[in-house]
Structure 1
């Protein structure tokens, strides 16, 4: 055997899995076609949102609370600042399902928060133009993550603890057998006892039985110049997620001192294969996000000064895949988080290590079982 465990893909989730396995003394090898911290898949784009009161439902809150603890542990171990908790605004119609989910999350888990009406928003956060019937939920435990630095920090921490890393060439396939798993690369074949499949947009390639439920999608992030940049610094402009009618957008305070990241929740289209990503963005594709910025964020100029393309894998029901690869007892799948996985990455790293060492975890992942799509 070359190692106890192989981690296939050392990106958002794989880097954290490798770190957690190394922390538990497991002999692990990570395989990454680029290098940790790259911007070719789901972890690029300078920033990601962290939040605890969850639009997608309260079932995620225990995972988010554990993730928050682990982000701090990774910061301590790496010596890097990765998570800034400057608060977060969830803006939408008071009667919408997403706002009900947020309020239920806060009530069930006693999350520190405030509910703001339009008048209070105008006084505290005039950067936002509120629409009739809208409220804002302020999540005190929300903020900004630095994804590229976080992935690199976790990978380096894993190596410091003894994990190995193979970079620069692709895994061409995995082959489970009765006593282990063969990991085929362009250079050689490795044999391990178990594998953790964290391939992000390439998830369907390594889990063909789930390929019809998993789609890689193109994501585009845009940064807009601020008329008064001081109004958009982290201490004055919390992260936000907004659902105003058909407009579903998110935003992050300025990190570069001049522009503000605002982008849609929606993807910019499906990809037949994750290797097919075209990072070019035709100007016409930006009309809807530019229009939303002009309507809802009047302090920003509605023409972006920076545009970047990335991708992620989405399941047909919008929830990730976490658990045993169907029909296999020594390959664990964590992927297709459908655009909202990075904030949870540290917790899923722990989940991966728990599954490898114990075959189960105390964190709630039942709703993410890949088997829900089988049979």
Structure 2
């Protein structure tokens, strides 16, 4: 006797969208979430996440991003509330740096409608970036923008429930056992027997599925108050950006959000995890307190990269995400096991793809051929 055809373990960005897709396709599905959907304990807190189709991380992600954008708008329509803000996005750096080179490579392969700006154009269009060197350029993507992560996750779970999915919240999964005809998902309350299990547990993925090439890292998130001229830092004048400096360090962020949120009036800024900057942690026992070590390196770069904000952040929090050796996702059936699908290893560039990943997971569960080639995300690619 099966409790469901499939269980989705972890209802963060990817899991909530997988459950949403499965439920609206009529699959008998159950979702299990350790906390409350849209919580701040994993990888999806912090009020905003960048969306772009010019995927500098791998050209093969562009079709997934395009499909994800279509699905974000579908989810937004079903939710009846704003989830995505298409205010544009900017990639900045030296032409031969990984930010610009990767962005232009993806744009060429998929003929993306991006604009290239020289340093003079950038200074005129975006005065906050006026201090950039002459040899830096910018790539503007008009369709880029921001997603509201907590609201989007909560909406996906709510709509999945309305379509027939069962959801268990505040329920910790203590084990996933693959048995002869399916899987048993263990919780402190009860065990659930299902034909297939999808594990989308974010930072806890490695503790539930053995032998995965994934590690969980701690990342600070910081918000800064403008020192003066607040209007200079509103989102329309400082849209979401990634900027590589000459020493290779990459700063990202966006201006003051136009909607009510927990960080009203503040500029969100942070650093990319280059060269393994962020420490590996145990997701069950990592320190969520903050100290100047969490922002000192960033603040030192902001004096030239984004001048005009105070040198001590007004708000700081920490999140965690999973990292793989090649910075690409883990998406598929480990060892081709028909009972198990995993989706993880977001590498801090996965939220934008959540709706598309959810659809890809549902396709795997249902035995449908993939809509695009995601072989570079095969969880068995490392041997």
TM class by shorter chain equals: over 0.9
5+ unaligned residues in a row in structure 1: which ranges? Answer: none
Instruction: Find out whether 1:106 has 2:113 as its counterpart.
Output: no
Per-residue Cα deviation, 1:337-356 (whole angstroms, up to 9, x for no partner): 11111000000000011001
Taking the TM superposition and a 5 Å limit, the aligned residue runs for 1:39-118 are 39-118=40-119
> Is the deviation greater in 21-30 or in 97-106?
97-106
Contact 2:55 2:62 (8 Å CA) reproduced: yes
1:279 and 2:280 are equivalent in the alignment? no
Deviation at residue 271 of structure 1 after TM alignment: 3.4
Report the secondary structure of 1:363's partner residue: coil
**Structure-1 residue corresponding to 2:232:** 231
Of 242-251 and 20-29, the range deviating more from structure 2: 242-251
Who is 1:330 aligned against?
339
1:244-298 CA-partner distances (Å, limit 9, x unpaired): 1232111022124421000011276333421122111111332110111112111
Preserved contact between residue 322 and residue 348 of structure 2 (Cα < 8 Å): yes
CA distance in 2, matches of 1:104, 1:357: 33
**Preserved CA contact (<8 Å) 1:229 1:259:** no
Alignment check: 8 A CA contact 1:220 1:268 kept: no
1:345-371 CA distance string (max 9 Å, x none) = 000000011001115422321100001
User: Which of residues 172, 184, 187 in structure 2 aligns to 1:185?
Assistant: 187
Are the counterparts in 1 of residues 92 and 99 from structure 2 also a CA contact under 8 Å?
no
Q: Secondary structure of 1:370's match?
A: coil
Aligned to 1:222: 222
**Partner SS state of residue 13, structure 2:** coil
**Pairs aligned (count):** 372
- Counterpart Cα distance in 1 of 2:103 and 2:197: 36
Is the 1:30–1:165 Cα contact (8 Å) retained in structure 2? yes
What is the alpha-carbon root mean square deviation over aligned residues? 1.4
What SS is found at the alignment partner of 1:208? coil
2:32 is the alignment partner of 1:23:
no
For residue 374 of structure 2, the aligned residue among 338, 348, 365 is: 365
Residues 176 and 209 in structure 2, CA contact (< 8 A), matched pair in contact too? no
Report the Cα offset of residue 220 of structure 1: 0.5
Find the aligned partners of 1:265 and 1:96 in 2 and give their Cα distance.
14
- Determine if contact 1:207/1:325 at 8 Å carries over to the other structure: no
Q: Distance in 2 between matches of 1:336 and 1:180?
A: 24
8 Å Cα contact 1:222-1:307 kept in structure 2 = yes
Q: Distance in 2 between matches of 1:359 and 1:174?
A: 24
How far is the alpha carbon of 1:188 from its aligned partner?
Answer: 1.0
Structure with greater proportional strand content: 1
- Partners of 1:163 and 1:294 lie apart in 2 by 50
TM-aligned CA deviation for residue 327 of structure 1:
5.3
After superposition, the C-alpha distances for 1:84-109 in whole angstroms (9 at most, x for unaligned) are 01111100101224312211222222
Q: Name the residue aligned to 1:354.
A: 363
> Which contiguous aligned blocks of 4+ residues in structure 1 show a shift greater than 4 angstroms?
none
